[in-house]
Structures are given as C-alpha cells and as structure tokens.
C-alpha cells in the first residue's frame, strides 16, 4: 500500500518552550508556574526539573541546522510568557523578544517555516498569585501578551496557535493536579476552561484587528472514548460524557458557541459548580478561526463505575500495545477522531499538531539509536490519518511530537518522544532511525507499507 500525500501537505515537528529551552532564569526571565511546580519534590518523576531541559536556549542554531539537514520544512515552537513579561503583565523584557526573534530568524535563514504557540503552559508565577487562569482577568493578561507577540514576531511567523491543549491546563492543572499549578478542584477547572477559551477568543479578535495575515487557530487535545462493552447502556452513556468532557467542552464553544448541555446538567447533579458565563462571552469564544490543530495519541475505553467522581466512569486498558508512557496504541482512533471532528464541526482545515510515541530508546554499541517501534507507530497513525483525508477530511498537515527528546512534564526526562536522541549528560544529539525515516517520508511526500 502506498500513501501519496497531496503536494501542499505540510510535514513538521512540534516542540514547546519549557520542554526544550532550559535557561529557566536567564536574561531577565521571570518564574513560570512550571518552574515553581517542578522545583517541588515529588511532582516530577525522576526528580528532574526543566531548569536545563535540552538547552535549546543556547543550542537552537545547532538544532535548527539539524532539522534542516533532515529536511524538516515546518517547526512548531512556543513562547515562554515570562521571558517576555517577567511579571506577567506590564514591562516587556527586551532580551526575551530578541531571543525569539533570533530563533525565528534562524528558522527563516534555514528555509524552515515557523508555527508559533502563544501558550504552551508556562504562565508567569506572578499571575498565579492573582489566581492565574481562575481569575476572569486572565483573558486580558493573555490578550496583552498575545498583542505584544503579534507585533514583535508577526513578520517571522507562518502559523499562529493561541493555546495548546486548554484541556490539559484546565484538568491537569486544576482538577487532577498532576500538572502546574497543581490545584485539585474540578469546579475551578471548569472556570479555567471558560477563561482559557475567552483568552483564546480575545487573542483571535486582537489578531484580526491588527491586520496580520498568517493563519491563526487553536490546538485541542482530543481522543475517542469507546464503551468497554459495546451493548452496555451505562458504559455507552459514560463514554459519551467523557467525550463531552474532553472534546466537546472546548470544541462546542469554539465552533458552536455553546457548552455541551448534557454534560453540564450531569455535572450540576454531581455538586459541581458550573462556570460563570457573562453576556457576550460565547460570542467572543466563537471567533472564526483558520484551522483546528489536533493533538492526539491514544484512545480510551470507558466502564461505568458508580464510585468515581465527578464522572462515574473509569478507563479500562484493553489487550494490545501501549507506548513507554502507557498510552494505548489505537491508530483506528485517529481515523475515527478525524471523521468525527469533521462531521461535527466542519473546521476549514485540520492539522495534526502533535502525534508521536514514547519509546525506551538507548544508544546501541554501534553508536546508533534504533527505534523501530516508533516508526511502526508513526506508519500506523499517519496511515489512519491518510485514510480519513482520502475520505474528505480537510487534513492539511501533520507534526510529529517531537524533534529532540525533552522534559516531558510530570514524567521529567524519563520519557523519550524525540526523533533525535539527547544524551542528557553531554547534551549530544543523535538522530534516531525514525528521524531518517521521517526525512524520507518528507522527501517522497509519503511512504509505502
């Protein structure tokens, strides 16, 4: 079987500032909620933190050169907010602006397009002191940050992304507490959802007002939820509610200007406090966007469980492959998700802004890093995406998570997702066999299986 992608299909790699840059307090940078969170013992597996990460801050030229050598046409990166505004708002740190301009210019010089995410989770700690995303004002703070970035980098950016995975910020950061700022309060998480979406809307509105022309969109992390037992009504209902909680809670307001009613009614009956919605909010959130970015890695299988809160369901792992971080490999889920998103929301364009696989990679005796499992994963997932595209889904591009191994949030450095191996003791980079494989895919604009 041969997968031949359309000529204008865009291939890329995705990264995030906190996960690669290091230099956590260099050149006037303020503290972020992830700096604070990762410095608390017990929060990060392996007791690591992102203080150095893979030193992209110092090594960006080397890494971008390597990306060029591998023929990577598109590089997704994010801007660390407290590098630009150490206090969150107010005075701009010129060194932060200069740094990102240098990185973006370096990409341009190497003929690589830049996709820039404004928020990939590094909220300034100073803003957390004021409640962070729980504070309604956060949308204004974000708009000011966004405007500054649009103005400072607009001439060098090919694609803008407002937020990366508001679901992770809201639920991981405020309900489960496994991510910064480490709060465990589901009702607050719902308020965070609403403020994040308002922040997104404000940024898009500001962008249009400023007359910039590159495309702008948002990245949502979505995946399919299937009932464990196909004919079991309780499992089916729970799978539907989880689907609403993870996917529709974000996409419905953006594309339909409403929140999922079934979910909200259910949550009200579970003593959850629903978000405070003011007049004009839904209109603001529903600003037209140019594309939807999807981060997707796995699928879940839901079993009804009366004891769980707020949703009465639990995930049951199925027989089959899991990646090194325990995520189930379900390429079919990628296909189903794309078809569902297209049917439900009709975004003008869809990008897979992240997909990839954690493997237990090591350097072989010959100095090479072979990662056949990652290649296998990618073939299956890209193949599934291709099938959806062939059936009419407007899929325009695909980014692999990620370029180099990096600081994987709560997993620290114990989880390797990169196409390029990083030896953290020496910071040496070694392209894995998947990097060479991907390079060929790009060159041939497809692959054969």
Give the residue numbers annotated as catalytic, written as ranges: 165, 354
For residues 3 and 381, which CB has a smaller minimum distance to ligand FCB in the complex? 381
Dihedral-angle region of residue 271 (phi above 0 means left; psi in -120 to 50 means alpha; beta otherwise): left
Tell the residue number behind the tokens 């569902």, with chain if given: 340
DSSP label at residue 272: P
* Helix or strand run (H / E) with residue 12: strand 10-14
- Let me know the angle formed at the C-alpha of 122 by 121 and 125, rounded to the nearest 5 degrees: 130
Minimum gap (Å) between residue 325 Cβ and ligand FCB: 8
Q: By beta-carbon distance, which residue lies closest to ligand FCB?
A: 16
Minimum gap (Å) between residue 16 Cβ and ligand FCB: 5
Nearest to 192 by CA among 220, 162, 172, 219: 172
For residues 304 and 398, which CB has a smaller minimum distance to ligand FCB in the complex? 398
Q: 3-state DSSP call for residue 53?
A: coil
Minimum gap (Å) between residue 217 Cβ and ligand FCB: 15
Minimum gap (Å) between residue 207 Cβ and ligand FCB: 22
- Let me know the angle formed at the C-alpha of 190 by 185 and 191, rounded to the nearest 5 degrees: 100
CA 187 – CA 159 distance, rounded (Å): 33
Q: 3-state DSSP call for residue 113?
A: strand
For residues 93 and 162, which CB has a smaller minimum distance to ligand FCB in the complex? 162
CA 266 – CA 243 distance, rounded (Å): 13
DSSP label at residue 351: E
Minimum gap (Å) between residue 78 Cβ and ligand FCB: 9
CA dihedral 251, 253, 256, 261 (to 10 degrees): 100
- Let me know the angle formed at the C-alpha of 336 by 331 and 338, rounded to the nearest 5 degrees: 100
For residues 21 and 165, which CB has a smaller minimum distance to ligand FCB in the complex? 165
For residues 250 and 417, which CB has a smaller minimum distance to ligand FCB in the complex? 417
Expressed in angstroms, the distance from the first to the final Cα of the chain is: 5
Minimum gap (Å) between residue 227 Cβ and ligand FCB: 24
Burial group, residue 224, by CB count within 10 angstroms (0-12, 13-18, 19+): buried
Residues that bind ligand FCB (CB under 6 A): 16, 19, 164-165, 168, 221, 295, 354, 401, 408-409, 417
Minimum gap (Å) between residue 164 Cβ and ligand FCB: 5
Are 103 and 149 in contact, with CB atoms under 8 Å apart? no
For residues 168 and 245, which CB has a smaller minimum distance to ligand FCB in the complex? 168
For residues 112 and 357, which CB has a smaller minimum distance to ligand FCB in the complex? 357
């Amino acid at each position: 079987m041969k997968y031949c992608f359309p000529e204008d299909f865009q291939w890329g790699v995705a990264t995030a500032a906190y996960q690669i840059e290091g230099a956590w307090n260099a050149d006037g940078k303020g503290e972020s909620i992830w700096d604070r969170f990762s410095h608390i013992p017990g929060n990060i597996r392996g007791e690591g933190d992102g203080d150095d990460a893979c030193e992209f801050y110092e090594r960006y030229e080397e890494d971008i050169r390597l990306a060029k050598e591998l023929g990577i046409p598109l590089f997704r990166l994010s801007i660390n907010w407290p590098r630009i505004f150490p206090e969150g708002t107010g005075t701009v740190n010129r060194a932060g602006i200069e740094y990102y301009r240098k990185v973006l210019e370096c990409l341009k010089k190497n003929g690589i397009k830049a996709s820039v995410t404004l928020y990939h989770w590094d909220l300034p700690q100073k803003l957390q002191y004021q409640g962070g995303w729980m504070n309604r004002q956060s949308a204004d703070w974000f708009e000011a940050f966004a405007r500054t970035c649009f103005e400072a980098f607009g001439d060098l950016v090919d694609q803008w992304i407002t937020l990366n995975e508001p679901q992770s910020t809201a639920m991981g950061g405020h309900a489960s507490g496994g991510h910064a700022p480490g709060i465990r309060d589901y009702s607050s998480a719902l308020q965070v959802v609403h403020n994040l979406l308002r922040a997104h809307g404000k940024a898009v509105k500001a962008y249009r007002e400023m007359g910039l022309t590159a495309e702008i969109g948002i990245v949502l992390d979505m995946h399919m939820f299937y009932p464990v037992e196909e004919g079991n009504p309780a499992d089916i209902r729970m799978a539907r509610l989880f689907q609403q909680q993870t996917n529709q809670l974000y996409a419905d307001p953006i594309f339909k200007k409403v929140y999922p009613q079934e979910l909200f009614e259910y949550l009200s009956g579970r003593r959850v406090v629903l978000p405070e919605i003011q007049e004009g909010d839904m209109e603001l959130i529903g600003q037209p966007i140019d594309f939807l970015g999807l981060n997707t890695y796995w699928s879940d299988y839901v079993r009804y469980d009366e004891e769980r809160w707020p949703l009465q369901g639990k995930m049951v792992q199925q027989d089959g492959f899991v990646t090194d971080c325990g995520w189930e490999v379900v390429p079919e889920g990628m296909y189903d998700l794309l078809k569902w998103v297209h049917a439900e929301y009709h975004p003008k364009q869809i990008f897979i802004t992240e997909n990839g696989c954690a493997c237990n990679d090591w350097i072989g005796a010959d100095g090479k890093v072979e990662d056949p499992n990652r290649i296998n994963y990618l073939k299956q997932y890209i193949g599934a995406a291709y099938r959806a595209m062939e059936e009419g889904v407007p899929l325009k591009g695909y980014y692999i998570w990620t370029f180099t191994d990096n600081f994987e949030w709560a997993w620290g450095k114990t989880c390797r997702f990169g196409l390029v191996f990083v030896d953290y003791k020496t910071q040496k980079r070694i392209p894995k066999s998947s990097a060479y494989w991907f390079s060929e895919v790009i060159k041939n604009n497809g692959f054969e299986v």
